[in-house]
Amino acid sequence: MNDEAGRCLIVDPGDAEPVLNAIAANNWQPEAIFLTHHHHDHVGGVKELVEKFPQIVVYGPQETQDKGTTQVVKDGETAFVLGHEFSVIATPGHTLGHICYFSKPYLFCGDTLFSGGCGRLFEGTASQMYQSLNKLSALPDDTLVCCAHEYTLSNMKFALSILPHDLSINDYYRKVKELRAKNQITLPVILKNE
């Protein structure tokens, strides 16, 4: 995410190199990093990015404090970045401390919600994940779901294995398959469609 002044927000940088390449190519100045949880594929690039941009603020849940977080945030708190007020939403399930960041219309949801699915349960329970997904479903219908991984095609294949005759799933699967065949991303998606 970036603004007109050339400042950018980095979310869950698992690897610094592609982030640094995008920053250089667009002449952006990083203002902050949002971390949603402690898994390496979401925090692996933090150290190098902070070394390169020591002024950057790294927001994250308590479970990321040893991963480079400089500003621990929790449910109900806010983070002000790029002129946006982001609400922090606790979404345990994938991990116990997982959080999301919401500023209409953007939802940075890490590994809680994907297009056509949700994150695996590594630390939390199915009940916790269900409650977390219910929290997210209460957000506005036009919310842009900015999840951390492009799993849409595999999620839709799984959905078809459960509901092979569902017309909406079949239609979405065809669209996703076509996009992925062209190496195009399917994200972000609109919450109403999830």
Catalytic residues: 37, 39, 41-42, 94, 111, 149
- Look up residue 160 and give its DSSP letter: H
Torsion of CA 90, 96, 98, 102, to 10 degrees: -10
Angle CA(179)–CA(148)–CA(83) in degrees, nearest 5?
110
Residues with Cβ within 8 Å of residue 184, at least 6 apart in sequence: none
Helices (H), the chain: 16-26, 40-43, 46-52, 126-137, 152-162, 167-181
How many residues appear in the chain? 194
Give the residue carrying structure tokens 């009940």.
Answer: 127
